[in-house]
Structure 1
Amino acid sequence: MYRISQMQVMPGRPDLNQKKIIAEIGQAKADGISLIIFPEMAVPGYMLGDKWENDRFVLDAYNKNEAIIKATEWNITAIWWNILPKINERWDDGRIRKYNAAFVAYDWKIVSNKWTGDSILKTLMPKYREFDDERHFYSLLKLSQEKNIDYKDLLEPYDLIINWEEKKVGVIICEDMWDDDYYAKPVEILKEKWAALIINISASPFGIGKSDKRDRILAIKSLWIEMIYANNVWIQNNGKNIFVFDGSSVVFNNWNKASQAKAFTDKNLDEWNSVENWETEIEKICNALIYGIKEYFKLIKKDKVVLWLSGWVDSAVVAALMVLALGKENVITVNMPSRFNSKTTQNLAQKQAEILWIEYYVFPIQDAVDLTALEFEKIFGKLPSWLVLENIQARDRGSRVLAWLAALKGAVFTNNWNKSEIAQGYATLYWDVNWSICPIWDLYKTQVWELARYINSSKGNMILNDIIELIPSAELSENQNVDEGLGDPFNYEYLDKLLYRFVELRKDPVDILEYYRDWRLTEELNLNFKIWEYFADAKSFIDDLEKVYRNLGLFFFKRIQAPPIIAVSKRAFWYDLREAVLDDYLLDEYLELKGQLFWQ
Structure 2
Amino acid sequence: MNQTQSILELNIALVQMAIDNQPMNNAQKFLYQATLAVEQGADVVIGSEMMLSHYVCGDRYEEEGFVDEMWSTAVYIASQWRSEAVLIFGGIALDAESKGGEDGRRRKYNAAFVIQNGSFVFNKAGLPFAIKSLMPNYRYFDDSRHFFDLRKLADEQGLVLKDLQQPFPVTIRGKVHYLGVMICEDMWDADYAQKPAKNLADNGADILINLSASPWGWQKNRKRDQVVQTICEATGLAFVYVNNVGSQNNGKNFLVFDGASSCYDQKGNLVAIAKRYEEVTMVVQFASKRTSLKREANSDVAELFTGIKVATLGFLCTLPTSVKGKVVIGVSGGIDSALSLALFVHLMGPENVIAINMPYGSFNSAKTKDDAKEMCRRLGVEYRIIPIDEMVNTRARLTGVLVGSSAHKTVQAIERKSVEAALAAKVGAFLICNANMTEIAFGYGTLNADLRGTFAPWMNCLKQDVYRLGHYMNEVVYSREVILQSIMDRQPMDELTEAGTSARGDPFDYGSVSDNGYHDQMVRALVAFRWSAESFLQAYQSGSLESDLQLPTGKLASLFPTTRDFVEDLERCMDLFHAAIFKRVQSVPGPVVDKRSFGFDFRESILKRVETVRYKKLKEELLKI
Taking the TM superposition and a 5 Å limit, the aligned residue runs for 1:441-590 are 441-459=459-477, 460-461=479-480, 462-479=482-499, 481-482=501-502, 489-492=507-510, 493-530=517-554, 531-590=556-615
Q: Secondary structure at the match of 1:598?
A: helix
**Which letter does structure 2 place at the counterpart of 1:418?**
N
- Is residue 204 of structure 1 aligned with residue 210 of structure 2? no
CA offsets 1:347-374 (integer angstroms, 9 cap, x no match): 1111211222222112222333233333
Q: In structure 1, what is the Cα distance between the partners aligned to 2:175 and 2:304?
A: 41
- Is residue 342 of structure 1 aligned with residue 362 of structure 2? no
Which residue is 1:356 aligned to?
379
Q: In structure 1, what is the Cα distance between the partners aligned to 2:545 and 2:317?
A: 45
Q: In structure 2, what is the Cα distance between the partners aligned to 1:320 and 1:255?
A: 42
Q: In structure 1, what is the Cα distance between the partners aligned to 2:500 and 2:546?
A: 29
Q: Tell me if structure 2 keeps the 8 A contact 1:304–1:331.
A: yes
Q: 1:114 to 1:345 in 2, by over 3 A?
A: same
CA offsets 1:416-435 (integer angstroms, 9 cap, x no match): 10000000000012112221
Q: In structure 1, what is the Cα distance between the partners aligned to 2:137 and 2:588?
A: 24
Which residue is 1:333 aligned to?
355
Taking the TM superposition and a 5 Å limit, the aligned residue runs for 1:229-240 are 229-240=241-252
Q: 1:56 to 1:156 in 2, by over 3 A?
A: same
**Which letter does structure 1 place at the counterpart of 2:413?**
A
Give 1:557 shift.
0.6
Give 1:278 shift.
3.0
Taking the TM superposition and a 5 Å limit, the aligned residue runs for 1:242-261 are 242-253=254-265, 254-261=267-274
Q: Tell me if structure 1 keeps the 8 A contact 2:432–2:455.
A: yes
Q: In structure 2, what is the Cα distance between the partners aligned to 1:551 and 1:358?
A: 37
Q: Tell me if structure 2 keeps the 8 A contact 1:474–1:488.
A: no
Give 1:63 shift.
1.6
Q: In structure 2, what is the Cα distance between the partners aligned to 1:407 and 1:352?
A: 25
Q: Tell me if structure 2 keeps the 8 A contact 1:290–1:322.
A: no
Give 1:22 shift.
2.3
Which residue is 1:52 aligned to?
61
Which residue is 2:279 aligned to?
266
Q: Greater shift after overlay, 13-22 or 197-206?
A: 13-22
Q: 1:4 aligns with which of 11, 14, 17?
A: 14
Q: Tell me if structure 1 keeps the 8 A contact 2:248–2:314.
A: no
Q: Secondary structure at the match of 1:551?
A: helix
CA offsets 1:562-587 (integer angstroms, 9 cap, x no match): 22111222111121111011123211
Q: Tell me if structure 1 keeps the 8 A contact 2:582–2:606.
A: yes
Q: 1:40 aligns with which of 49, 54, 72?
A: 49
Q: Greater shift after overlay, 161-170 or 445-454?
A: 161-170
**Which letter does structure 2 place at the counterpart of 1:409?**
V
Which residue is 2:513 aligned to?
none
Q: In structure 1, what is the Cα distance between the partners aligned to 2:467 and 2:33?
A: 42
Q: 1:359 to 1:385 in 2, by over 3 A?
A: closer
Which residue is 1:316 aligned to?
338
Q: In structure 2, what is the Cα distance between the partners aligned to 1:522 and 1:82?
A: 47
Which residue is 1:438 aligned to?
456
Q: In structure 2, what is the Cα distance between the partners aligned to 1:60 and 1:577?
A: 31
**Which letter does structure 2 place at the counterpart of 1:473?**
M
Give 1:68 shift.
0.7
Q: Tell me if structure 2 keeps the 8 A contact 1:424–1:552.
A: yes
Taking the TM superposition and a 5 Å limit, the aligned residue runs for 1:6-25 are 6-11=16-21, 13-25=22-34
Q: Greater shift after overlay, 503-512 or 14-23?
A: 14-23
Which residue is 1:396 aligned to?
415
Q: 1:211 to 1:358 in 2, by over 3 A?
A: farther
Q: 1:542 to 1:564 in 2, by over 3 A?
A: same
Q: 1:410 aligns with which of 412, 418, 428?
A: 428
Q: In structure 1, what is the Cα distance between the partners aligned to 2:453 and 2:126?
A: 48
Give 1:590 shift.
0.2
Q: Greater shift after overlay, 272-281 or 71-80?
A: 272-281
Give 1:122 shift.
0.5
Give 1:413 shift.
1.2
Q: Tell me if structure 1 keeps the 8 A contact 2:249–2:255.
A: yes
Q: In structure 1, what is the Cα distance between the partners aligned to 2:13 and 2:523?
A: 43
Q: In structure 2, what is the Cα distance between the partners aligned to 1:261 and 1:163?
A: 27
Q: 1:81 aligns with which of 68, 79, 90?
A: 90
Give 1:23 shift.
2.2
Q: In structure 2, what is the Cα distance between the partners aligned to 1:314 and 1:488?
A: 17
**Which letter does structure 1 place at the counterpart of 2:473?**
I
Q: Tell me if structure 1 keeps the 8 A contact 2:414–2:449.
A: yes
CA offsets 1:42-74 (integer angstroms, 9 cap, x no match): 123312322222334322321212221133213
Q: 2:182 aligns with which of 158, 167, 172?
A: 172
Q: Tell me if structure 2 keeps the 8 A contact 1:471–1:487.
A: no
**Which letter does structure 1 place at the counterpart of 2:601?**
D
Q: In structure 1, what is the Cα distance between the partners aligned to 2:154 and 2:413?
A: 58
Q: Greater shift after overlay, 269-278 or 115-124?
A: 269-278
Which residue is 1:426 aligned to?
444
Q: Tell me if structure 1 keeps the 8 A contact 2:197–2:231.
A: yes
Q: Tell me if structure 1 keeps the 8 A contact 2:589–2:599.
A: no
Q: Secondary structure at the match of 1:175?
A: helix
Q: Secondary structure at the match of 2:263?
A: strand
**Which letter does structure 2 place at the counterpart of 1:309?**
V
Q: 1:428 to 1:3 in 2, by over 3 A?
A: same
Q: Greater shift after overlay, 441-450 or 529-538?
A: 529-538
- Is residue 279 of structure 1 aligned with residue 298 of structure 2? yes
Q: Tell me if structure 2 keeps the 8 A contact 1:77–1:105.
A: yes
Q: In structure 2, what is the Cα distance between the partners aligned to 1:64 and 1:364?
A: 55
**Which letter does structure 1 place at the counterpart of 2:417?**
G
Q: 1:288 aligns with which of 304, 307, 311?
A: 307
Q: 1:84 to 1:185 in 2, by over 3 A?
A: same
For structure 2, list consecutive stretches of 5 or more residues without a partner in the other structure: 1-10, 511-516
Q: 1:162 to 1:527 in 2, by over 3 A?
A: farther
Q: In structure 2, what is the Cα distance between the partners aligned to 1:478 and 1:214?
A: 54
Q: How many residues align?
A: 592
Q: Secondary structure at the match of 1:271?
A: strand
Which residue is 2:81 aligned to?
72
For structure 1, list consecutive stretches of 5 or more residues without a partner in the other structure: none
CA offsets 1:75-103 (integer angstroms, 9 cap, x no match): 22100111111253121122221111111
Q: Give % identity.
A: 34
CA offsets 1:215-235 (integer angstroms, 9 cap, x no match): 322233233432221111232
Q: 1:157 aligns with which of 161, 167, 183?
A: 167
Which residue is 2:7 aligned to?
none
Give 1:486 shift.
6.5
Which residue is 1:135 aligned to?
145
Structure 1 vs Structure 2 CA RMSD: 2.1
Give 1:528 shift.
1.0
Q: Secondary structure at the match of 1:234?
A: strand
Q: Tell me if structure 2 keeps the 8 A contact 1:122–1:172.
A: yes
Q: Secondary structure at the match of 2:107?
A: strand
Q: 1:323 to 1:270 in 2, by over 3 A?
A: farther
4+ long deviations beyond 4 Å: 161-166, 272-276, 485-488
Q: 1:416 to 1:518 in 2, by over 3 A?
A: same
Q: 1:432 to 1:26 in 2, by over 3 A?
A: same
**Which letter does structure 2 place at the counterpart of 1:330?**
N
Q: Tell me if structure 1 keeps the 8 A contact 2:404–2:497.
A: no
Q: 1:366 to 1:211 in 2, by over 3 A?
A: farther
